[in-house]
Amino acid sequence: ERALEVRMSRRVAGAWRWTDARQAVFRPRRYWPAGQRVTLLAHTAGVRSAPGVFGAADHVAGFRVGPSRVSVVDVRRHRMTVRVNGRPVRSAGISAGKGGTRAYTTTSGVHLTMAKGDPVVMTSDWMGVTDRKDPRYYRMEVRHAVQISGSGEYVHAAPWSVGQQGRANVSHGCVNASPEFARWFYDQTLRGDVVLITGTDRPLEWNNGWGYWQIPWTRWVTGSALRKPPTTPRRPRT
Protein backbone atom coordinates (compact mmCIF):
# COMPACT_ATOMS: atom_id res chain seq x y z
CA GLU A 1 0.00 0.00 0.00
CA ARG A 2 2.85 2.40 0.72
CA ALA A 3 3.90 2.09 -2.91
CA LEU A 4 0.50 3.45 -4.03
CA GLU A 5 -0.36 7.12 -3.79
CA VAL A 6 -3.67 8.82 -4.63
CA ARG A 7 -3.74 12.54 -5.35
CA MET A 8 -6.79 14.72 -5.87
CA SER A 9 -7.46 18.35 -6.65
CA ARG A 10 -9.29 18.50 -3.31
CA ARG A 11 -8.23 16.82 -0.07
CA VAL A 12 -10.35 13.76 0.69
CA ALA A 13 -10.07 11.16 3.46
CA GLY A 14 -9.76 7.66 2.03
CA ALA A 15 -8.14 4.31 2.68
CA TRP A 16 -6.95 1.21 0.89
CA ARG A 17 -8.42 -2.17 1.77
CA TRP A 18 -7.20 -5.59 0.72
CA THR A 19 -10.19 -7.41 -0.79
CA ASP A 20 -8.20 -10.59 -1.37
CA ALA A 21 -4.57 -11.70 -1.47
CA ARG A 22 -3.93 -9.89 -4.76
CA GLN A 23 -6.23 -6.86 -4.89
CA ALA A 24 -6.30 -3.63 -2.90
CA VAL A 25 -9.10 -1.09 -3.41
CA PHE A 26 -8.96 2.60 -2.51
CA ARG A 27 -12.24 4.07 -1.28
CA PRO A 28 -12.89 7.56 0.10
CA ARG A 29 -14.85 7.90 3.31
CA ARG A 30 -17.73 9.46 1.38
CA TYR A 31 -18.60 9.43 -2.31
CA TRP A 32 -15.98 10.92 -4.60
CA PRO A 33 -16.53 14.68 -4.96
CA ALA A 34 -17.98 15.58 -8.35
CA GLY A 35 -15.63 17.05 -10.91
CA GLN A 36 -12.42 16.25 -9.04
CA ARG A 37 -9.27 15.11 -10.80
CA VAL A 38 -7.72 11.95 -9.41
CA THR A 39 -4.19 10.72 -10.05
CA LEU A 40 -2.83 7.33 -8.99
CA LEU A 41 0.93 7.04 -8.66
CA ALA A 42 2.22 3.49 -8.32
CA HIS A 43 5.79 3.64 -7.03
CA THR A 44 6.48 0.09 -8.11
CA ALA A 45 9.99 0.35 -9.55
CA GLY A 46 12.14 -2.03 -7.54
CA VAL A 47 9.26 -3.19 -5.33
CA ARG A 48 9.45 -6.91 -4.56
CA SER A 49 6.17 -8.64 -5.49
CA ALA A 50 7.35 -12.25 -5.28
CA PRO A 51 10.60 -14.12 -4.64
CA GLY A 52 13.02 -12.83 -7.26
CA VAL A 53 10.37 -10.61 -8.89
CA PHE A 54 10.65 -6.81 -8.73
CA GLY A 55 8.77 -3.98 -10.38
CA ALA A 56 10.48 -2.61 -13.49
CA ALA A 57 8.96 0.89 -13.53
CA ASP A 58 6.59 3.29 -11.83
CA HIS A 59 3.12 3.89 -13.29
CA VAL A 60 0.80 6.89 -13.37
CA ALA A 61 -2.90 6.88 -14.25
CA GLY A 62 -5.62 9.44 -13.81
CA PHE A 63 -9.25 10.27 -14.37
CA ARG A 64 -11.79 12.97 -13.66
CA VAL A 65 -14.87 12.27 -11.53
CA GLY A 66 -18.11 12.98 -13.36
CA PRO A 67 -21.17 14.70 -11.94
CA SER A 68 -22.80 13.33 -8.81
CA ARG A 69 -25.43 10.93 -10.14
CA VAL A 70 -27.31 9.01 -7.46
CA SER A 71 -30.34 6.90 -8.37
CA VAL A 72 -32.63 5.68 -5.59
CA VAL A 73 -34.75 2.60 -6.26
CA ASP A 74 -37.60 2.17 -3.77
CA VAL A 75 -38.70 -1.43 -4.23
CA ARG A 76 -41.76 -1.06 -2.00
CA ARG A 77 -43.02 2.00 -3.88
CA HIS A 78 -41.91 0.60 -7.26
CA ARG A 79 -40.16 3.88 -8.05
CA MET A 80 -36.74 4.98 -9.28
CA THR A 81 -35.58 8.57 -8.88
CA VAL A 82 -32.38 9.93 -10.45
CA ARG A 83 -30.61 12.91 -8.91
CA VAL A 84 -27.76 14.77 -10.57
CA ASN A 85 -25.65 17.01 -8.32
CA GLY A 86 -28.36 16.67 -5.70
CA ARG A 87 -31.24 17.75 -7.96
CA PRO A 88 -33.95 15.25 -9.01
CA VAL A 89 -34.03 15.06 -12.81
CA ARG A 90 -36.14 11.96 -13.57
CA SER A 91 -38.51 9.65 -11.74
CA ALA A 92 -40.19 6.58 -13.17
CA GLY A 93 -42.13 3.51 -12.16
CA ILE A 94 -40.12 0.29 -12.06
CA SER A 95 -40.58 -3.37 -11.25
CA ALA A 96 -37.99 -5.14 -9.08
CA GLY A 97 -37.49 -8.75 -8.01
CA LYS A 98 -40.70 -10.63 -7.29
CA GLY A 99 -39.24 -12.25 -4.16
CA GLY A 100 -40.60 -15.48 -2.75
CA THR A 101 -37.06 -16.87 -2.82
CA ARG A 102 -33.71 -15.25 -2.13
CA ALA A 103 -32.72 -15.73 -5.78
CA TYR A 104 -35.64 -13.58 -6.98
CA THR A 105 -35.10 -10.84 -4.38
CA THR A 106 -33.36 -7.64 -5.49
CA THR A 107 -30.43 -6.77 -3.22
CA SER A 108 -30.73 -3.63 -1.09
CA GLY A 109 -27.79 -1.31 -0.54
CA VAL A 110 -25.30 0.88 -2.36
CA HIS A 111 -24.60 -0.47 -5.84
CA LEU A 112 -22.22 1.04 -8.38
CA THR A 113 -22.82 0.85 -12.11
CA MET A 114 -20.23 -1.57 -13.46
CA ALA A 115 -20.87 -1.96 -17.19
CA LYS A 116 -23.58 -1.64 -19.78
CA GLY A 117 -24.61 -3.35 -22.98
CA ASP A 118 -27.20 -3.06 -25.72
CA PRO A 119 -28.28 -5.76 -26.05
CA VAL A 120 -27.34 -8.16 -23.25
CA VAL A 121 -28.32 -11.84 -23.42
CA MET A 122 -29.84 -13.00 -20.14
CA THR A 123 -30.42 -16.66 -19.36
CA SER A 124 -31.51 -18.87 -16.47
CA ASP A 125 -28.03 -20.42 -16.29
CA TRP A 126 -27.33 -18.52 -13.06
CA MET A 127 -29.99 -20.68 -11.39
CA GLY A 128 -28.55 -23.85 -12.87
CA VAL A 129 -31.54 -24.11 -15.19
CA THR A 130 -30.41 -25.06 -18.71
CA ASP A 131 -33.13 -27.47 -19.81
CA ARG A 132 -35.51 -25.75 -22.23
CA LYS A 133 -38.34 -27.94 -20.95
CA ASP A 134 -37.98 -26.56 -17.42
CA PRO A 135 -40.71 -23.93 -16.82
CA ARG A 136 -38.09 -21.73 -15.17
CA TYR A 137 -35.90 -21.70 -18.28
CA TYR A 138 -35.44 -18.47 -20.19
CA ARG A 139 -33.07 -16.91 -22.68
CA MET A 140 -33.67 -13.41 -24.01
CA GLU A 141 -31.98 -10.30 -25.31
CA VAL A 142 -32.65 -7.18 -23.26
CA ARG A 143 -32.03 -3.63 -24.43
CA HIS A 144 -30.24 -0.79 -22.65
CA ALA A 145 -28.94 -2.86 -19.74
CA VAL A 146 -26.81 -1.28 -17.00
CA GLN A 147 -25.10 -3.78 -14.68
CA ILE A 148 -25.16 -2.96 -10.95
CA SER A 149 -23.88 -6.15 -9.27
CA GLY A 150 -21.61 -9.09 -9.93
CA SER A 151 -24.49 -11.54 -9.50
CA GLY A 152 -26.20 -10.24 -12.62
CA GLU A 153 -28.56 -7.49 -11.47
CA TYR A 154 -29.22 -4.85 -14.11
CA VAL A 155 -31.39 -1.83 -14.70
CA HIS A 156 -32.81 -2.59 -18.14
CA ALA A 157 -35.68 -2.14 -20.55
CA ALA A 158 -38.56 -4.55 -20.01
CA PRO A 159 -41.38 -3.84 -22.44
CA TRP A 160 -43.12 -7.06 -21.34
CA SER A 161 -43.70 -5.70 -17.80
CA VAL A 162 -44.66 -2.09 -18.51
CA GLY A 163 -48.12 -2.77 -17.10
CA GLN A 164 -46.62 -3.81 -13.74
CA GLN A 165 -43.99 -1.08 -13.52
CA GLY A 166 -44.93 1.35 -10.76
CA ARG A 167 -47.41 -1.16 -9.38
CA ALA A 168 -45.82 -4.58 -8.68
CA ASN A 169 -42.51 -6.42 -8.52
CA VAL A 170 -42.36 -9.25 -11.07
CA SER A 171 -38.72 -9.60 -12.20
CA HIS A 172 -36.11 -12.26 -11.44
CA GLY A 173 -34.16 -9.64 -9.47
CA CYS A 174 -33.32 -6.94 -12.00
CA VAL A 175 -34.81 -3.45 -12.03
CA ASN A 176 -37.22 -3.43 -14.97
CA ALA A 177 -38.02 -0.10 -16.61
CA SER A 178 -39.88 1.18 -19.63
CA PRO A 179 -37.93 1.20 -22.93
CA GLU A 180 -37.92 5.01 -22.96
CA PHE A 181 -36.65 5.44 -19.41
CA ALA A 182 -34.13 2.59 -19.74
CA ARG A 183 -32.71 4.16 -22.89
CA TRP A 184 -32.37 7.53 -21.16
CA PHE A 185 -30.73 5.99 -18.09
CA TYR A 186 -28.37 3.95 -20.28
CA ASP A 187 -27.26 7.04 -22.21
CA GLN A 188 -26.75 9.12 -19.05
CA THR A 189 -24.94 6.57 -16.90
CA LEU A 190 -21.20 6.60 -16.30
CA ARG A 191 -19.31 3.71 -14.75
CA GLY A 192 -19.23 4.09 -10.97
CA ASP A 193 -22.51 5.99 -10.63
CA VAL A 194 -24.45 5.17 -7.46
CA VAL A 195 -27.67 3.14 -7.48
CA LEU A 196 -29.10 2.93 -3.96
CA ILE A 197 -31.77 0.25 -3.61
CA THR A 198 -34.08 0.15 -0.58
CA GLY A 199 -36.99 -1.94 0.58
CA THR A 200 -35.90 -5.58 0.50
CA ASP A 201 -34.66 -8.02 3.14
CA ARG A 202 -31.67 -9.15 1.06
CA PRO A 203 -28.62 -6.87 1.52
CA LEU A 204 -26.03 -6.54 -1.21
CA GLU A 205 -22.87 -8.42 -0.22
CA TRP A 206 -19.83 -6.13 -0.07
CA ASN A 207 -17.93 -8.39 -2.47
CA ASN A 208 -20.80 -8.76 -4.94
CA GLY A 209 -19.45 -6.69 -7.80
CA TRP A 210 -18.46 -3.26 -6.51
CA GLY A 211 -20.41 -3.31 -3.25
CA TYR A 212 -17.57 -1.71 -1.32
CA TRP A 213 -19.81 1.00 0.15
CA GLN A 214 -21.64 -1.73 2.04
CA ILE A 215 -18.73 -1.90 4.49
CA PRO A 216 -18.93 0.79 7.22
CA TRP A 217 -15.98 3.18 7.14
CA THR A 218 -14.63 2.09 10.54
CA ARG A 219 -14.47 -1.51 9.32
CA TRP A 220 -13.15 -0.57 5.89
CA VAL A 221 -10.10 1.01 7.50
CA THR A 222 -9.27 -2.18 9.43
CA GLY A 223 -8.69 -3.96 6.11
CA SER A 224 -5.79 -1.64 5.32
CA ALA A 225 -2.21 -2.60 6.08
CA LEU A 226 -1.64 1.03 7.11
CA ARG A 227 -4.34 0.77 9.81
CA LYS A 228 -5.31 4.42 9.49
CA PRO A 229 -7.07 6.53 6.87
CA PRO A 230 -4.66 8.69 4.88
CA THR A 231 -5.76 12.04 3.51
CA THR A 232 -5.07 12.32 -0.19
CA PRO A 233 -2.66 15.17 -0.93
CA ARG A 234 -3.65 17.89 -3.31
CA ARG A 235 -2.76 17.47 -6.94
CA PRO A 236 0.09 19.86 -7.85
CA ARG A 237 -1.05 22.86 -9.85
CA THR A 238 0.04 23.06 -13.44
- Which neighbouring-strand residues pair with 204? none
Which residue out of 78, 111, 144, 174 is catalytically annotated?
Answer: 174
Answer yes or no: are the C-beta atoms of 68 and 84 closer than 8 Å: yes
| Residue type for position 222 | T
Establish whether 174 is a catalytic residue: yes
Tell me 219's DSSP state: H
Which residue out of 111, 144, 156, 172 is catalytically annotated?
Answer: 156
Answer yes or no: are the C-beta atoms of 157 and 144 closer than 8 Å: yes
Establish whether 156 is a catalytic residue: yes
Q: Quick one: residue 211, left, alpha or beta (phi over 0 = left, psi -120 to 50 = alpha)? A: alpha
Tell me 181's DSSP state: H
Active site residues: 156, 174
